[in-house]
């Protein structure tokens, strides 16, 4: 009896899923007799079996439903109400089946309400058929999907000749048998063992040249491979099985949300392992719900935006290599990056500076963060931001990746890439610290030989290893270090370029062997807590090795990255990285052969753009960059733009604006002391410094920013609460050129004068200065004399003075304090100067 009940449950559940999708199509195409026939047959079968098993509740319910369906079959017009009623009946049936599964008997309850409605509808129709609206108008009356076609369904429904399709399925049924999933799983495990044993045998025979075993073993090997493939096939199921519920989901959603949504499905017959299928079901449903809820706009909004009234969710699946690619796309409003940014800041996921440096794609990925939901209205559909992070982790659990693309106003596309099967994967075998490890091939992008005399060399920015790879900086981590197997060696190794989500990093290993199809064995419970491993496997030679989990390895990188980003944020705040110790400089060539350099911290990104994308407008070079027009500025007139190929540029971003500095070639990133030894009078050049033994021009980025946007600094001023005015006194034009933009960039008005006498004139002119920054050593009247003169002026007696000195000695500080200097800053300490200005003007603010 138990077994019978079990069979009944499996069969009925399958049938119900089918009925679900059939019904939705039925509502859209009520005249299709064949669909009606199918549904009727299914309900009828359930009813029949119920009676046989003595399930009275189910029987009564299905009987009532069947009667109504029978009426439809006899030509009664189908109303939307009727479909809704039948759907709720099916829901009730499912609930009873659920109870049946757990209790082994029908749960208590009463279905009189539904039966009453069902039979009333069946009867009412007979009496007053004219009251029912014509079926054709129905789909327009209700915001229901007009058309939701699945490919397999289409071939059954769309054809005019109904019979053959039905016969074909019946024929197929007699050729198939029902096998329990456990049996298949056991078979799979056994085959996995067989594969391993075969591999071991092959390894042994390889060592004995003349072996009698060679030929039979080759045969065994082939048979094993065939068997493996065959068993895998038995576990394969079309992805359409995971989609079956979706038409119903979308139908219900469109009714609930008052939207018109069509569901298109392509490639439903794409097959994948049933284990994977089970695991991907829920994430898929969630994504589709998400598209319907957040993606597709209401009909009014759509029409206003000039789109079709009905939104479309497009589901497609296809094979690609050893993976299956599933796409869920909608033609809705797309993601609102501004809202995502605001939310990311609110949740403390990233700072504003960090966000400004991110691409839209990277920003979109924030929706996968835990607790993230930008829906201002929480609906019952997508819930409270407890979805996307679960979706991602579920997919990553099965070794898959999820990615998204969004175009404002045009829609959002989620792309899921998952392995066909979980049991056997292709893995790269690597060595680190004398041990071998397997890295799943899915996450490996490429291999780079580092060190030696090769093209690639591991470099370090402070303690962080990086690799220059086609003009991008690849963050590296030493596997040896992550696994605590010894000290890293930068000079020799292979970099396994690995992708996890949108993050790409390089794992440095000592050696790389080969790729091998490995059978994943679950990890020992005693090792499961180690995040860098995802499983174990037995190699062909019989040894056991650990499988690395790229996600876990990336976490190690994340820790370093977070610390680094926090630091970078601070540095940016100060606009400069002049510390006592070393500074990372980006060395490049532009125009002349002489190397040029800028502090790396000022550079937002290094880009290579296609020359064909460079446009000329009003004599200025522009390029479309992240949906904005970015001006391209040349370091000097000699530096021409390339005519073809790709043009390397340094991108500087600030407050949502970007400027591209055109360079010929990016040479190096070096860490060195920045000592400007010879100042320069050339605009745009701060001076010259010796960097790595070569005289290098240090570029003043502040000079180029206003060239890109004349109002670059003005915009900043406008945003400052109260712009304060700083009087800058320096006899050297170079320093005035250097410091004025710097102080401006920090949000102050600057009046620059060339002597102490001019300064006094300015102070007497009536202009209110909040702060004076003066050079100490000046001809005729020096800084000390200026300060003394100011003390006797009623308007300027309390104005704070910051002194700039080339040499700061205890003696000068003492003397400065006596005459009333508020602060002393070394001339090249730009960060120190800004800090001092901020401090002094803050005091002022408090005083006022």
Question: Which parts of this chain interact with another protein (CB under 8 A)?
Answer: 193, 196-197, 433, 435-436, 483-485, 521, 524-527, 529-530, 532-533, 536, 538, 542-546
Whether the Cβ atoms of residue 550 and residue 531 lie closer than 8 Å to each other: no
Report the SS3 class of residue 770: coil
HSE-CB at 788 with a 13 A cutoff on CA atoms is 10
Compute the distance between CA of residue 197 and CA of residue 541 in angstroms, rounded to an integer.
10
Whether the Cβ atoms of residue 666 and residue 606 lie closer than 8 Å to each other: yes
List Cα–Cα distances, 26 to 80, 126, 149, 247, 424, in angstroms: 10, 21, 11, 12, 41
CB of 558 to another protein, least distance (A): 17
By beta-carbon proximity to another protein, the closer residue of 8 and 437 is 437
Whether the Cβ atoms of residue 240 and residue 324 lie closer than 8 Å to each other: no
Phi, psi of 780 (to 5 degrees): 65, -75
DSSP letter for each residue of 692-717: TTEEEEEE-HHHHHHHH-TTHHHHHH
Whether the Cβ atoms of residue 550 and residue 464 lie closer than 8 Å to each other: no
Compute the distance between CA of residue 333 and CA of residue 312 in angstroms, rounded to an integer.
12
CB of 492 to another protein, least distance (A): 20
By beta-carbon proximity to another protein, the closer residue of 7 and 193 is 193
779: number of Cβ within 10 Å: 8
Compute the distance between CA of residue 102 and CA of residue 98 in angstroms, rounded to an integer.
7
617: number of Cβ within 10 Å: 9
By beta-carbon proximity to another protein, the closer residue of 216 and 486 is 486
Q: Residue 674: which residues within 8 A CB-CB, separation 6 or more? A: 578, 583, 585, 599, 689, 698
The residues with which 651 forms a beta bridge, in sequence order, are: 605, 660
By beta-carbon proximity to another protein, the closer residue of 545 and 705 is 545
CB of 538 to another protein, least distance (A): 5
CB of 507 to another protein, least distance (A): 14
CB of 551 to another protein, least distance (A): 15
CB of 92 to another protein, least distance (A): 39
In 460-549, alpha helices (H): 479-482
By beta-carbon proximity to another protein, the closer residue of 176 and 525 is 525
By beta-carbon proximity to another protein, the closer residue of 555 and 604 is 555
**Strand-pair category, 771-775 with 801-805:** parallel
DSSP letter for each residue of 613-678: GEEEETTEEEEEETTEEEEEEESSTT-PPPSSSEEEEEEEEETTEEEEEE-SEEEEEEEE-----E
CB of 432 to another protein, least distance (A): 9
By beta-carbon proximity to another protein, the closer residue of 124 and 544 is 544
CB of 440 to another protein, least distance (A): 18
By beta-carbon proximity to another protein, the closer residue of 152 and 433 is 433
Q: Residue 31: which residues within 8 A CB-CB, separation 6 or more? A: 135
Rounded to 5°, the CA angle 183-187-190 comes to 140
Compute the distance between CA of residue 319 and CA of residue 271 in angstroms, rounded to an integer.
8
**Strand-pair category, 544-548 with 533-538:** antiparallel
Residue with structure tokens 């003696």? 811
Instruction: Please name which of 409, 430, 214 lies closest in space to residue 301, comparing C-alpha atoms.
Output: 409
CB of 544 to another protein, least distance (A): 5
CB of 524 to another protein, least distance (A): 4
Per-residue HEC secondary structure of 139-196 comes to HHHCCCCCCCCEHHHHHHHCCCCCHHHHHHHHHHHHCCCCCCHHHHHHHHHHHHHHHH
By beta-carbon proximity to another protein, the closer residue of 42 and 520 is 520
Phi, psi of 810 (to 5 degrees): -60, -35
By beta-carbon proximity to another protein, the closer residue of 470 and 526 is 526
By beta-carbon proximity to another protein, the closer residue of 494 and 533 is 533
By beta-carbon proximity to another protein, the closer residue of 245 and 436 is 436
CB of 20 to another protein, least distance (A): 37
CB of 182 to another protein, least distance (A): 14
CB of 461 to another protein, least distance (A): 26
CB of 450 to another protein, least distance (A): 22
By beta-carbon proximity to another protein, the closer residue of 320 and 525 is 525
By beta-carbon proximity to another protein, the closer residue of 380 and 484 is 484
By beta-carbon proximity to another protein, the closer residue of 528 and 620 is 528
Compute the distance between CA of residue 480 and CA of residue 482 in angstroms, rounded to an integer.
6
CB of 149 to another protein, least distance (A): 45
CB of 200 to another protein, least distance (A): 9
Compute the distance between CA of residue 202 and CA of residue 548 in angstroms, rounded to an integer.
26
Whether the Cβ atoms of residue 364 and residue 334 lie closer than 8 Å to each other: no
By beta-carbon proximity to another protein, the closer residue of 533 and 625 is 533
CB of 29 to another protein, least distance (A): 51
By beta-carbon proximity to another protein, the closer residue of 532 and 776 is 532
By beta-carbon proximity to another protein, the closer residue of 411 and 540 is 540
Structure tokens at 796: 């300027």
Instruction: Please name which of 232, 248, 85 lies closest in space to residue 153, comparing C-alpha atoms.
Output: 248
CB of 484 to another protein, least distance (A): 6
Compute the distance between CA of residue 733 and CA of residue 726 in angstroms, rounded to an integer.
17
């Amino acid at each position: 009896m138990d077994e019978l009940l079990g069979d009944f449950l499996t069969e009925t559940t399958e049938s119900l899923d089918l009925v679900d999708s059939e019904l939705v199509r039925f509502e859209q195409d009520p005249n299709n007799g064949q669909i009606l026939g199918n549904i009727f047959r299914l309900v009828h079968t359930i009813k029949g079996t119920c009676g046989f098993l003595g399930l009275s509740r189910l029987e009564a319910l299905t009987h009532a439903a069947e009667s109504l369906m029978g009426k439809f079959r006899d030509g009664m017009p189908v109303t939307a109400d009727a479909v809704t009623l039948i759907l709720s009946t099916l829901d009730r049936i499912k609930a009873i089946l659920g109870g049946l599964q757990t209790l082994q008997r029908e749960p208590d309850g009463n279905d009189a309400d539904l039966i009453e409605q069902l039979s009333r509808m069946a009867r009412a129709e007979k009496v007053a058929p004219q009251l029912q609206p014509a079926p054709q108008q129905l789909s327009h009356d209700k915001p229901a999907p007009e058309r939701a076609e699945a490919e397999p369904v289409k071939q059954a429904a769309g054809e005019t000749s109904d019979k053959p399709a039905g016969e074909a399925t019946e024929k197929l049924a007699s050729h198939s048998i029902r096998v329990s999933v456990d049996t298949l799983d056991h078979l799979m495990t056994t085959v996995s063992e067989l594969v391993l044993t075969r591999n071991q045998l092959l390894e042994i025979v390889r060592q004995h040249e003349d072996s009698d075993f060679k030929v039979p073993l080759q045969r065994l090997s082939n048979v094993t491979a065939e068997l493996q493939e065959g068993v895998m096939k038995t576990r394969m199921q079309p992805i359409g099985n995971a989609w079956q519920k979706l038409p119903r989901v979308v139908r219900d959603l469109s009714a609930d949300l008052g939207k018109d949504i069509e569901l298109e499905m392509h490639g439903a017959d794409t097959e994948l392992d049933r284990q994977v299928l089970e695991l991907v079901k829920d994430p898929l449903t969630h994504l589709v719900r998400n598209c319907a809820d957040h993606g597709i706009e209401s009909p009014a909004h759509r029409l206003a935006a000039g789109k079709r009234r009905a939104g479309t969710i497009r589901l497609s699946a296809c094979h690609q290599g050893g993976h299956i690619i599933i796409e869920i796309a909608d033609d809705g409003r797309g993601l609102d990056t501004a809202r995502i940014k605001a939310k990311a800041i609110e949740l403390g996921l990233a700072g504003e500076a960090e966000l400004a440096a991110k691409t839209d794609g990277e920003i979109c990925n924030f929706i996968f963060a835990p607790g993230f939901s930008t829906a201002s209205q929480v609906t019952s559909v997508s819930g409270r931001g407890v979805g996307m992070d679960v979706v991602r982790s579920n997919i990553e659990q099965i070794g898959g990746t999820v990615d998204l693309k969004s175009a404002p106003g045009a829609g959002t596309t989620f792309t899921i890439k998952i392995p066909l099967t979980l049991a056997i994967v292709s893995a790269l075998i690597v060595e680190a610290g004398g041990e071998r490890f397997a890295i799943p091939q899915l996450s490996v992008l490429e291999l780079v030989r580092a060190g030696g005399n090769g093209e690639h060399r591991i470099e370090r920015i402070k303690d962080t290893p990086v690799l220059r790879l086609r003009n991008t900086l690849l963050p590296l981590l030493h596997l040896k270090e992550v696994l605590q197997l010894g000290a890293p060696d930068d000079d020799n190794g292979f970099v396994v370029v690995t992708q996890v989500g949108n993050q790409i990093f390089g794992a440095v290993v000592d050696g790389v062997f080969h790729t091998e199809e490995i059978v994943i064995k679950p990890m020992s419970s005693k090792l499961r807590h180690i995040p860098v491993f995802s499983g174990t496997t037995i190699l062909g030679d019989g040894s056991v090795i650990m499988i690395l989990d790229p996600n876990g390895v990336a976490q190690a990188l994340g820790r370093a990255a977070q610390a680094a980003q926090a630091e970078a944020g601070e540095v940016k705040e100060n606009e400069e990285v002049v510390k006592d110790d070393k500074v990372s400089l980006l060395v490049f060539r532009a125009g002349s052969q002489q190397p040029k350099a800028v502090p790396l911290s000022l550079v937002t990104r290094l880009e290579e753009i296609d020359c064909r994308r460079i446009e000329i407008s009003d004599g200025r070079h522009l390029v479309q960059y992240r949906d904005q027009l970015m001006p391209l500025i040349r370091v000097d007139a000699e530096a021409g733009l390339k005519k073809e190929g790709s043009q390397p540029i340094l991108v500087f971003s600030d407050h949502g604006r970007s400027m591209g500095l055109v360079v010929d070639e990016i040479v190096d990133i070096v860490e060195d002391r920045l000592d400007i030894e010879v100042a320069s009078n050339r605009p745009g050049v701060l001076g010259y410094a010796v960097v790595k033994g070569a005289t290098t021009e240090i570029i003043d980025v502040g000079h180029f920013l206003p060239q890109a946007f004349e109002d670059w600094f003005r915009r900043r001023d406008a945003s400052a609460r109260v712009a304060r005015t700083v009087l800058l006194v320096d006899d050297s034009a170079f320093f005035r050129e250097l410091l004025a933009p710097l102080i401006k960039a920090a949000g102050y008005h600057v009046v620059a004068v060339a002597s102490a006498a001019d300064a006094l004139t300015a102070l007497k002119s009536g202009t209110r200065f909040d702060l004076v920054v003066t050079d100490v050593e000046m001809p005729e009247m020096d800084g000390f004399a200026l300060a003394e003169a100011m003390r006797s002026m009623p308007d300027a007696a309390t104005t704070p003075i910051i002194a700039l000195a080339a040499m700061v000695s205890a003696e000068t500080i003492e003397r400065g304090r006596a005459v009333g200097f508020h602060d002393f800053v070394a001339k090249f300490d730009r960060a120190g100067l800004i800090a001092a200005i901020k401090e002094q003007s803050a005091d002022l603010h408090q005083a006022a």
